[in-house]
């Protein structure tokens, strides 16, 4: 959906004042409002997604869809303009054979935005930039906001921010939400993805709470995102399920669609299809597109291509055809 | 609430409903393992497959296609007599065999069931109509688990009742239902053999195949002849087993109506009896429950095996304040349930077991509508052949409705509401049955309180339909008596002095 810049800007400001007044003072009160999550139950639910069996056309459809949802990512200290250039090339043309769509975006550090933009400008591939002192977020708010502004000015179409986990865990929900609101303002037209860093939130209950706190201050079609990929526990079907159920409940209550991005740990095509089955059966068809669902991944793409090539030719390709390492792009 | 944002959006999506459409349809994903079926199945008596003495056969069909699968030998009283005599002869050695030796046979049967798991799963699904994912992931592995568990007990029976004398009954007559053909067989045969009894078992007439295939497993395991005898047939065959002078213990799982007849016919004899009969379980959801997981449990509780489950959570008791929300969530959840070819790995609800059962379900659903309950189903397309029924939910049900009182044994949920814990308990216990119940709440103390107040053999807390060979299962009131599984189940197969 298209929303004029001014409207959104105005809306989020007005909203910020509202949310400040409404911010719950304790997790207990928040759970009274949004409900809790049963750990055992949610893991049983997601286990059922892994028993879905996708064959033939439905498999090819799912694999194509997954390719189109990849935020092809490189977030390394050793990134160079050259490496980002080859990443962009891979994003634009993942594979020569078959009718493979480009990925949704490339995801890089702010210093690489201008290099990436050169290669993908004018195409459907977006440039996403992590910002706000990714991955820890442990920098003064002013610095974090300046980083967002810099990335947007360099041409970033999307900003992946991290929440203040310390504030959340200490119960300072208002501070956490106000910081997100400030980033929303700094984003301007850029789409925002709010990284909850689920691996640091300790429980499914907390993931649900943080999802709601974030969704209440971001704009329609902004994202909530599982993780930075820099901690030991990242996107799992369980985390994903808690977040997409939160998105569903928020949508049904307010009409505001929020998008979702699991990131980190999704390396195989089979995993990606399980995540998409979860989306299909929880949020429905409206979320089965790259405006509403993304995968933050690097090595996933080549496994998707490997499987698509197998479906196209009927045989797996030699192991050297598709590199396991994203450095090989 | 972001009011301004919401207004902007409300224009473009006034419906605010999710779309579970056909954007990404799944292609057929049939299980292709060979069930190794025969055209004709004979009776398994004294370790051999032999035709019935009358030479009669009856057809068994695939309820998903209505095509005949095989001819099954029809046993009459002469065949039952031969089976009971074979069992009696076998008992003279089997009953004296040391427990650890009996255990070895049970372990062997368990492992063979695992070896033949796919074959049995496909056969079970074709003959009974249940989805392959259930026969593959539940029925067959659980059947093997029961043999493993009871194999372990075979040489440790003295720990069941320390200081007491005990002995096997001898020949045990067992009659099982069609909803979990192989699993019910395992529930019956494993404890009977572990305790040194010999068995004459009758499978349900619509689902004889896996029981007769189990005869092949007994042969492969080298089980002594006559220890297990399988005689197929309908009600008269079952009556012949139950009333045969050689059967000293009877175990029956099935309908309450038949259970009452058995009880009548055994009155005045010294036969031991256990009955596992019908149910109308209450699944009770309090307002503090994690709702999405509760909804998942409700769906699992009533739609598992098309609702052909004696402990199915067929009455949903939901606290009034969250009733609308739970109904909305249930409707959304059943929209994604897939009904169709039971052999398809993605099928959630398979075929109703028989035309008779389908007619019964249809009739009860009709009565629900006529009595004024509000019916919802997922509107999915059903296959043109075979016996199928959509997952169905009734809202605004009151306690006097037939759909709240009678066991439907199909994919039909009745929703009632309550305000207080006491009202929930009162409604839950206001039934002739007492097999199982579910409680959903975040509050631990309430779970404990409910579990003591509910008159049900099993109370599940924040989950539903969980089974384990070590956990005794059985009912109160007209749901029967005796337990199956665990120590209690074993004791029902022993004379304890």
Structural domains in chain A (count): 1
Note the pLDDT tens digit of each residue in A236-286.
999 999 999 999 999 999 999 999 999 999 999 999 999 999 999 999 999
Q: Given this model, what pLDDT does residue A153 score?
A: 98
Q: Which of A145, A141, A139, A74 is nearest to A113 (CA)?
A: A74
Other CB atoms within 10 A of residue B270 CB? 6
If asked whether residues B307 and B441 sit together in one domain, one would say yes
Q: Which of A83, A193, A225, A303 is catalytic?
A: A225
Checking if the pLDDT of B94 tops 70, the result is yes
If asked whether residues B271 and B355 sit together in one domain, one would say no
> How many C-alpha atoms does B81 have within 13 Å on its Cβ side?
4
Q: Given this model, what pLDDT does residue B11 score?
A: 41
Q: Which of B114, B94, B122 is nearest to B34 (CA)?
A: B122
Say if A54 falls within a structural domain: yes
* Chain B residues in contact with A257 (beta carbon < 8 A): 9, 13
Structural domains in chain B (count): 2
* Chain A residues in contact with B442 (beta carbon < 8 A): 36
CATH number for position B423: 3.40.309.10
CATH number for position B252: 3.40.605.10
Say if B219 falls within a structural domain: yes
Q: What is the mean pLDDT of residues B208-222?
A: 98
Q: What is the mean pLDDT of residues A163-173?
A: 95
Tokens of residue B446, six digits: 């309430």
Q: Given this model, what pLDDT does residue B497 score?
A: 85
**Residue of chain B whose alpha carbon sits nearest to that of A54:** B26
**Is B311 a known active-site residue?**
no
Count contacts between A and B (CB, < 8 Å). 132
If asked whether residues B265 and B313 sit together in one domain, one would say no
CB B291 within 8 A of CB A39: no
**Residue of chain B whose alpha carbon sits nearest to that of A10:** B4
* Chain B residues in contact with A281 (beta carbon < 8 A): 20, 336
Is A58 close to B462, i.e. CB distance below 8 A? no
Say if A16 falls within a structural domain: no
Longest dimension (CA), chain A: 60
Q: What is the mean pLDDT of residues B53-82?
A: 98
Q: Is the peptide bond before B473 cis (omega within 30 degrees of 0)?
A: no
Nearest residue, CB atoms, B26 vs list A15, A45, A54: A54
What one-character-per-residue DSSP string does B48-70 give?
A: EEE--TT--EEEEE-TTT--EEE
Tell me the CA distances in angstroms from B130 to B114, B180, B351, one per residue in order.
19, 9, 6
Is A22 close to B1, i.e. CB distance below 8 A? yes
Checking if the pLDDT of B83 tops 60, the result is yes
CB B44 within 8 A of CB B218: yes
**Residue of chain B whose alpha carbon sits nearest to that of A219:** B5
Q: Given this model, what pLDDT does residue B23 score?
A: 96
Q: Given this model, what pLDDT does residue A24 score?
A: 66
* Chain B residues in contact with A273 (beta carbon < 8 A): none
Q: What percent of chain A has pLDDT over 70?
A: 91
Burial of B491 (0-12, 13-18, 19+ CB in 10 A): buried
Say if B29 falls within a structural domain: no
Q: Given this model, what pLDDT does residue A1 score?
A: 37
If asked whether residues B234 and B298 sit together in one domain, one would say no
Say if A5 falls within a structural domain: no
Say if B369 falls within a structural domain: yes
* Chain B residues in contact with A1 (beta carbon < 8 A): 9, 12
Contacts of residue A254, defined as CB under 8 A and 6 or more positions apart, other chains included, come to B1, B2, B6, B9
* C-alpha span between B92 and B94 (Å, rounded): 6
**Is A13 a known active-site residue?**
no
Say if A279 falls within a structural domain: yes
Q: For residue B256, give the H/E element and its range.
A: helix B256-266
**What rounded mean pLDDT belongs to chain B?**
95
Residue numbers of the domain that contains A271: 26-313
CB B301 within 8 A of CB B312: yes
pTM of the model: 0.93
Q: Given this model, what pLDDT does residue A17 score?
A: 46
Other CB atoms within 10 A of residue A56 CB? 12
Is A216 close to B297, i.e. CB distance below 8 A? no
* C-alpha span between A151 and B189 (Å, rounded): 70
Say if B323 falls within a structural domain: yes
Note the pLDDT tens digit of each residue in A310-321.
999 999 999 888
CB A210 within 8 A of CB A225: no
If asked whether residues B153 and B49 sit together in one domain, one would say yes
Q: What is the mean pLDDT of residues B82-86?
A: 98
If asked whether residues B318 and B188 sit together in one domain, one would say no
Residue numbers of the domain that contains B312: 282-461
Q: What is the mean pLDDT of residues A128-148?
A: 97
Q: Given this model, what pLDDT does residue A22 score?
A: 55
Contacts of residue A211, defined as CB under 8 A and 6 or more positions apart, other chains included, come to A196, A224, A242, A243, A246, A247, A250
CB B390 within 8 A of CB B380: yes
| B267 vs A: CB within 8 A | no
**Residue of chain A whose alpha carbon sits nearest to that of B463:** A41
Say if B145 falls within a structural domain: yes
Tokens of residue B295, six digits: 């909804």
Is A284 close to B20, i.e. CB distance below 8 A? yes
Nearest residue, CB atoms, B5 vs list A11, A53, A58: A11
More confident residue, B188 or A25: B188
Q: Given this model, what pLDDT does residue A98 score?
A: 85
If asked whether residues B117 and B183 sit together in one domain, one would say yes
Q: Which of A83, A90, A193, A261 is catalytic?
A: A261
If asked whether residues B269 and B356 sit together in one domain, one would say no
Sign, CA torsion B30/B32/B36/B40: positive
Say if B468 falls within a structural domain: no
Q: Given this model, what pLDDT does residue A26 score?
A: 84
Is B346 close to A52, i.e. CB distance below 8 A? yes
If asked whether residues B268 and B287 sit together in one domain, one would say no
Note the pLDDT tens digit of each residue in A7-41.
444 444 444 444 444 556 688 899 999 999 999 99
Q: Given this model, what pLDDT does residue B57 score?
A: 98
Is B3 close to A18, i.e. CB distance below 8 A? yes
| B5 vs A: CB within 8 A | yes
Q: What secondary structure letter does DSSP report for B26?
A: P
Q: What is the mean pLDDT of residues B284-300?
A: 97
Contacts of residue B213, defined as CB under 8 A and 6 or more positions apart, other chains included, come to B36, B116, B119, B120, B123
Say if A8 falls within a structural domain: no
DSSP three-state, residue B413: strand
Q: What is the mean pLDDT of residues B310-318?
A: 97
Q: Which of A83, A126, A157, A160 is catalytic?
A: A160
Nearest residue, CB atoms, A284 vs list B4, B18, B292: B18
CATH number for position A40: 3.20.20.70
| B292 vs A: CB within 8 A | yes
| Window 43-82 of A, Cβ < 8 Å to B | 44-45, 51-59, 61-62, 65
CB B324 within 8 A of CB B291: no
Q: Given this model, what pLDDT does residue A203 score?
A: 95
**Is B310 a known active-site residue?**
yes
Note the pLDDT tens digit of each residue in B432-476.
999 999 999 999 999 999 999 999 999 999 999 999 999 999 999
If asked whether residues B235 and B332 sit together in one domain, one would say no
**What rounded mean pLDDT belongs to chain A?**
92
Say if A72 falls within a structural domain: yes
User: β-strand B57-61 against B494-496: which pairing, if any?
Assistant: unpaired
Contacts of residue B85, defined as CB under 8 A and 6 or more positions apart, other chains included, come to B246
Contacts of residue B233, defined as CB under 8 A and 6 or more positions apart, other chains included, come to B58, B74, B75, B76, B202, B205
Task: Determine the distance from the C-alpha atom of residue A257 to the mean position of all C-alpha atoms in its chain, rounded to a whole number.
Answer: 14
């Amino acid at each position: 959906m298209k929303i004029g810049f001014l409207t959104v800007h105005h809306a989020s400001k007005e909203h910020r004042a509202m949310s400040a007044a409404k911010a719950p003072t304790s997790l207990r009160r928040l759970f009274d409002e949004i409900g809790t999550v049963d750990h055992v139950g949610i893991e049983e639910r997601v286990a059922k997604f892994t028993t879905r069996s996708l064959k033939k056309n439905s498999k090819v459809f799912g694999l194509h869809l997954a390719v189109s949802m990849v935020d092809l990512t490189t977030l390394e200290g050793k990134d160079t303009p050259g490496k980002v250039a080859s990443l962009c090339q891979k994003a634009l043309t993942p594979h020569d054979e078959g009718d493979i769509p480009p990925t949704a975006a490339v995801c890089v550090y702010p210093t690489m935005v201008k290099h990436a933009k050169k290669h993908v400008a004018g195409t459907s591939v977006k440039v996403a930039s992590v910002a706000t002192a990714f991955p820890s977020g442990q920098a003064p708010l002013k610095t974090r906001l300046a980083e967002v502004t810099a990335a947007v000015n360099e041409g970033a179409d999307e900003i992946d921010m991290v929440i203040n986990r310390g504030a959340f865990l200490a119960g300072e929900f208002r501070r956490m939400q106000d910081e997100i609101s400030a980033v929303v303002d700094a984003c301007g037209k850029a789409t925002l993805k709010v990284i909850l860093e689920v691996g640091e939130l300790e429980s499914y209950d907390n993931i649900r709470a943080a999802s709601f706190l974030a969704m209440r201050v971001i704009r329609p079609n902004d994202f909530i995102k599982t993780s930075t990929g820099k901690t030991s526990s990242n996107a799992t079907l369980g985390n994903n399920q808690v977040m997409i159920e939160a998105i569903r409940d928020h949508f049904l209550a307010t009409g505001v669609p929020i998008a979702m991005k699991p990131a980190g740990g999704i390396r195989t095509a089979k995993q990606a299809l399980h995540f998409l089955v979860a989306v299909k059966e929880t949020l429905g068809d409206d979320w089965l597109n790259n405006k509403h669902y993304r995968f933050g991944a690097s090595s996933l793409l080549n496994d998707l291509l490997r499987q698509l090539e197998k479906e196209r030719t009927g045989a797996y390709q030699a192991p050297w055809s598709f590199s396991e390492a994203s450095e090989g792009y | 609430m972001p009011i301004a944002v919401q207004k902007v959006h409300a224009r473009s999506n006034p419906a605010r409903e999710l779309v579970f459409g056909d954007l990404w349809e799944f292609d057929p994903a049939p299980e292709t393992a060979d069930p190794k079926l025969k055209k004709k199945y004979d009776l398994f008596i004294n370790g051999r497959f032999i035709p019935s003495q009358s030479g009669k056969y009856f057809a068994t069909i695939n309820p998903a296609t209505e095509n005949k699968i095989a001819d099954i030998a029809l046993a009459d009283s002469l065949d039952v007599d031969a089976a009971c005599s074979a069992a009696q002869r076998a008992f003279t050695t089997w009953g004296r065999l040391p427990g650890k030796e009996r255990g070895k046979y049970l372990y062997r049967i368990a492992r063979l069931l695992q070896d033949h798991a796919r074959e049995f799963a496909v056969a079970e699904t074709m003959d009974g109509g249940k989805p392959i994912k259930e026969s593959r992931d539940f029925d067959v592995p659980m059947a093997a688990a029961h043999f493993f568990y009871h194999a372990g007990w075979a040489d440790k029976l003295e720990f069941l009742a320390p200081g007491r004398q005990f002995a096997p009954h001898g020949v045990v007559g067992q009659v099982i239902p069609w909803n979990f053909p192989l699993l019910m067989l395992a529930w019956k045969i494993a404890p009977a053999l572990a305790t040194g009894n010999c068995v004459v078992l009758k499978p349900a007439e619509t689902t004889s195949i896996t029981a007769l295939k189990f005869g092949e497993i007994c042969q492969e395991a080298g089980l002594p002849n006559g220890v297990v005898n399988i005689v197929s047939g309908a009600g008269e065959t079952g009556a012949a087993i139950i009333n045969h002078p050689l059967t000293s213990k009877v175990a029956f799982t099935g309908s309450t109506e038949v259970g009452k007849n058995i009880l009548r016919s055994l009155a005045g004899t010294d036969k031991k009896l256990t009955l596992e009969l019908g149910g109308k379980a209450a699944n009770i959801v309090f307002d503090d429950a994690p709702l999405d997981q509760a909804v998942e449990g409700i769906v699992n509780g009533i739609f598992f095996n098309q609702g052909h489950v004696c402990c199915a959570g067929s009455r949903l008791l939901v606290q009034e304040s969250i009733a609308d929300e739970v109904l909305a969530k249930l409707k959304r959840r059943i929209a994604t349930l897939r009904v169709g070819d039971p052999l398809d790995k993605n099928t959630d609800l398979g075929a109703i077991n028989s035309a008779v059962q389908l007619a019964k379900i249809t009739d009860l659903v009709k009565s629900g509508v006529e009595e004024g309950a509000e019916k919802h189903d997922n509107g999915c397309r059903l296959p043109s052949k075979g016996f199928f029924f959509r997952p169905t939910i009734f809202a605004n049900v009151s306690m006097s409705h037939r759909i709240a009182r009678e066991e439907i044994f199909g994919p039909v949920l009745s929703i009632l509401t309550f305000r207080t814990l006491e009202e929930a308990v009162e409604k839950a216990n206001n039934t002739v049955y007492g097999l199982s119940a579910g409680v959903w709440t975040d509050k631990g103390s309430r779970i404990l309180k409910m579990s003591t107040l509910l008159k049900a053999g099993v109370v599940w807390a924040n989950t539903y339909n969980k089974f384990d060979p070590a956990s005794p299962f059985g009912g109160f009131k007209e749901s029967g008596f005796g337990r199956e599984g665990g120590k209690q189940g074993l004791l029902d197969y022993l004379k304890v002095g």
